[in-house]
Amino acid sequence: MKRRFFLLVLFIAIGISSFAQQALFGGQPIVSPEINDDNSVTFRLLAPNAESVIVTGDFLPTEMVQSPMGEMEAPGKAEMTKDEKGVWSYTSEPLESELYDYSFVIDGFTTTDPSNPYVIRDIASITNYFIIEGGKADLYMVQDVPHGSVTRRWYDSPGLDMDRCAVIYTPPGYENSDKKYPVLYLLHGAGGDEEAWFAHGKATRILDNLIAQGKAEPMIVVMPNGNVIQDAAPGEGRDGFVTPAFMIPNTMDGIFEANFMDILKFVESNYRVKADKADRAIAGLSMGGFHSFHISRYYPNTFDYVGLFSAALLPREDASGKVYSDIDGTLKTQMDNGYKLYWMGIGKTDFLYDANKEIRAKFDDMGMKYTYMETDGGHIWRNWRIYLSDFVPLLFK
């Protein structure tokens, strides 16, 4: 009895302590972010001893910064103001419908918003996010529609000599039918992993909503790990809780592309799929666009649909293996074999804009047909969600 009483008191104490950390005097919790009627957003943080608090996020005008990849866009910053109770606040301009990331910088230390439990990991960075409804971001939200299933599947990769993990989406109704489905292989960027498109890209929500609207064919979506020295995302595989890194060994040296058929064979042996060129698509962002470009031409009679989202088509010193030989010849073979869609999207201020322009010029010289989309902004998830939302409805028609 005494032990039970002690545990009850302990749980109550923990609950009061947790609430107190989120409450502002008199038990009133801090609301942050608060989406106002005009779609402006108010951010708040209780930090009475702080000298400076900044909110930074992609809802603000971007800034240009130097990075190892050259000059790139970075989220903007805005100073917050403190009231007499020690609460810092900032209200944005009215925002268009979108999914936005943000963080706080307290006296130079970047951290998340303690009042917002919704976070996304992008490589090794954790940021909060919020969604403004009423437009394109409705695709990124859970709606009252039939939902597909998402599983982590481990497959044997003889070429890489390990079992590896992929996130696989099956459309609504898959489990209760004997129907066969087309497949989209959706690849992440550098520093990402098999969870990137599911978590940050909201790919499965986009698929659910587009299928429910009748704008997309029901399809299976396979999201593999493009980092060939990993078996799974950090914290999910044999390496344990390693720190995610932007570029790890062997990511863009041809090994992933050369062994991609291990993934395809697993999917076509374990799922009800239409195993032919007309019912296969491959697409990816940044490094995943690089992989999609090379996989689709290295296996030139395998995919009828190819999507390059801000593709990292820069020359690489380690791109010297067999996969990267005779690029022009394999592209011509791919073109001569025929395909239904070759889709390219890039932001006007993306640091990869010129590289993509050069590839388009090569395609123009060859007479290789493609569909092109140019958007505002740079190398950002906002664009990649838009590209996926526009690309998927064009597949398997």
Q: pLDDT at position 177, please?
A: 93
What string of pLDDT tens digits covers the 397 residues of the chain?
A: 434 433 343 333 434 334 434 444 445 689 999 999 999 999 999 999 999 999 999 999 877 666 655 566 778 899 999 999 999 999 999 999 999 999 999 999 999 999 999 998 887 788 999 999 999 999 999 999 999 999 999 999 998 989 999 999 999 999 999 999 999 999 999 989 999 999 999 999 999 999 999 999 999 999 999 998 888 788 777 887 877 777 788 788 889 999 999 999 999 999 999 999 999 999 999 999 999 999 999 999 999 999 999 999 976 666 667 889 889 999 999 999 999 999 999 999 999 999 999 999 999 999 999 999 999 989 999 999 999 999 999 999 8
CA proximity to 187, closest of 333, 328, 318, 303 = 303
Domains in the chain (CATH in brackets) are 25-134 (2.60.40.10), 144-394 (3.40.50.1820)
Residue-wise DSSP of 303-362: -SEEEEES------TT--SGGGSSHHHHHHHHHHH--SEEEEEEETT-TTHHHHHHHHHH
What's the rounded Cα separation, in Å, for the pair 133 and 128? 17
Q: What is the pTM of this model?
A: 0.88
Q: pLDDT at position 316, please?
A: 66
Q: pLDDT at position 191, please?
A: 87
Residue 357: both structure tokens together: 């322009």
- Strand order, beta sheet including 87-91: 34-35, 41-46, 87-91, 81-82
Q: pLDDT at position 70, please?
A: 59
Q: Pseudo-torsion of CA 213, 99, 167, 222, nearest 10°?
A: 50
* Residue 97 DSSP SS3: coil
* Residue 383 DSSP SS3: helix
Q: 319-345 burial, b for 16+ CB within 10 Å, e for fewer?
A: beeebbeeeeebbbebbeeebebbbbb
